[in-house]
A and B are shown apart, each in its own frame.
Chain A
Amino acid sequence: MRSLRFVFVSWKLQFKMIMRSPFDGIGNVIYPLFFATTAFFVFRAGSSPRTLIYASLGAAVMGMWSSVSTSAGSAMQRERWWGTLELLVAAPRHFSLILFPSTLGLATVGIYNLTATLLWGRFAFGIPLTIEHPLLFGFSVVGTVLAFAGLGLLFAVSFVRFRAAWVLGNFFEYPVWLICGFLVPLSLLPDWVRPISWVLAPTWGMNAIRESALGGTPLPDLLLCLGLGAVYVAFAVLVTNRVLYDARARGSLSLT
């Protein structure tokens, strides 16, 4: 319970900080909207039977992923630049638990992205906003946010040795948009890509959100998404232990 309270308080603080950051709070919300708009135009002009609501939901989750991928990779580095990394590492809580609210905050901004994209599609392109299973849709969004936060945590601790960690975060933006079926059905991609999609939680999060909105069965996808998110967190804890051990052994915690 104390850990949950700790995560909640830290998440609130991180979320407030993110929302006041021009890059994370404004840039990361606006930027995916340009891609969403382009996709809406392409689908509207195309001859595919796929509806604009399909594109709208996909574009909305694209925005959720953007908010995590571009900034989570450098979450640990930011603490290093601010000079707070040593204090956080020395705190009695496990460092992963300290870092998780930061990536959870970024993932939460994704809800803002999702809402903005759906509303943009509704008012600028007339895409209907009908959600068949509102409750399941809400669960799917929250589950996807948690899984994205887990993946963001894994990014944050894995990229810490790279001085330009933000580049690696950016680097994963397009590939995940492409291979997780946000706007392109997985059946269109080469066969060898599919196993990669299956181990990425965004694939299942996207499926769950789409199934709940369009009237399918989102629960299996949601459970897979959450399961993978938990696996990412477990990996992230292991990587954190390793990274901190190395940093202490070499005295390299504050080196950039």
Chain B
Amino acid sequence: MTSFRALFYWLTPWIYVPTMFISPLFQILLFAYIGRSAGLESDKFYLIGNALQYASIPCLFAMSQAIGGERYQNTLSAILVSPAPRIPLFFGRSLPVVLNGAFVAAVALLTGSLVLGVHLPTSSLAPLLLVVLIAALSCTGLGLVNAALSLRIRENAVLSNVIFGFLLIFTGANVPLDSLPGWMSTAAQGMPFTHAIEAARQLADGASLGDVADLLGAELLVGAIYGIAGYALLRWFETLSRRHASLERS
């Protein structure tokens, strides 16, 4: 939590409120109106897709800042030279990121439904919160990969935006998966949000949590794979940085 507060510099209200509360609402409105203009799907479709997918912004940016930010504070070498076990060191930083991502998506879901007048069944609200949490967890796994890369590349903001863009297209947030080319919908199965968005849409249509358990399991699996890959990358880059004395090089 200390690292999150110290390094995630978007926590100031001047950045947090526009970026985390207002921008997702406009993203939802933009695509809901594009959908109306194109005659494709309902407002509920775009509300759920974009509210969940927007969790990628806090998850990707916060995770990279919480780890890559150490480099810009010149504290990375002090941390890596310490004997602190790496799993709690890296995964501990991801816990506030998950909670923050879920909070942002939940607020977007709430405000978007109020503005668009989309009714979500009361019985679906608690399961939807669980889905939002799982989606944020899954994307934080990808965020860990992004954080590892931020130890090697200078412009992590560009990379985070590019990942956000791929998630926007591939995950079914705005385009039904069966309308995407086959290779894209196949690739989407290995990305965060794809299964969570589908689960959330089914829940909003009246399905029970048990009905979407397989989708949630798949989402958790995807997140776990990214999380492990991110951790492995971090350790690898740590070793490379020691070997090539490139730890503080930016």
Which B residues touch A168, using CB under 8 A?
Answer: 18
CA distance A125 to B58 in the complex (A): 31
Which A residues touch B157, using CB under 8 A?
Answer: 23, 27
CA distance A31 to B239 in the complex (A): 33
Which B residues touch A123, using CB under 8 A?
Answer: none
Contact check, B30 vs A162: say whether CB atoms are below 8 A apart: no
**Which of B71-79, B172-180, B205-213 sits within the interface?**
B172-180
Query: Secondary structure of the A side of the interface?
Result: helix
**Which of A10-18, A42-50, A243-251 sits within the interface?**
A42-50
CA distance A47 to B30 in the complex (A): 18
Contact check, A174 vs B175: say whether CB atoms are below 8 A apart: no
**Which of B31-39, B119-127, B221-229 sits within the interface?**
B31-39
Which B residues touch A44, using CB under 8 A?
Answer: 179
Contact check, A184 vs B34: say whether CB atoms are below 8 A apart: yes
Known: A30-B162, A163-B14. A178 touches B29 (CB 8 A): yes
Known: A31-B161, A38-B175. A188 touches B36 (CB 8 A): yes
CA distance A168 to B17 in the complex (A): 11
Contact check, B36 vs A184: say whether CB atoms are below 8 A apart: yes
Chain A interface residue count, CB cutoff 8 Å, equals 38
CB contacts under 8 Å to B, within A167-190, are 167-168, 170-171, 174-175, 177-178, 183-185, 188-189
CA distance A45 to B35 in the complex (A): 10
B2 at the interface (CB under 8 A from A): no
Minimum CB–CB distance for A38 against chain B, Å: 5
Contact check, A34 vs B168: say whether CB atoms are below 8 A apart: yes
Interface bits B15-32 vs A (CB < 8 Å: 1, else 0): 100110011001101110
CA distance A164 to B175 in the complex (A): 33
Contact check, A45 vs B176: say whether CB atoms are below 8 A apart: yes
Contact check, B14 vs A164: say whether CB atoms are below 8 A apart: yes
B40 at the interface (CB under 8 A from A): yes
Interface bits B148-179 vs A (CB < 8 Å: 1, else 0): 00000011011001101110110000111001
CA distance A171 to B166 in the complex (A): 21
Select one of B26, B39, B168 contacting A174, CB under 8 A: B26
B82 at the interface (CB under 8 A from A): no
Could you name 23 residue pairs across A and B whose Cβ atoms are closer than 8 Å?
A27-B155, A31-B161, A34-B165, A34-B169, A41-B169, A42-B40, A42-B175, A43-B34, A46-B37, A46-B38, A47-B38, A47-B40, A48-B38, A48-B40, A50-B38, A162-B14, A168-B18, A171-B18, A171-B19, A178-B26, A178-B30, A183-B33, A185-B37
Chain B interface residues (CB < 8 Å from chain A): 12, 14-15, 18-19, 22-23, 26-27, 29-31, 33-40, 154-155, 157-158, 161-162, 164-166, 168-169, 174-176, 179-180
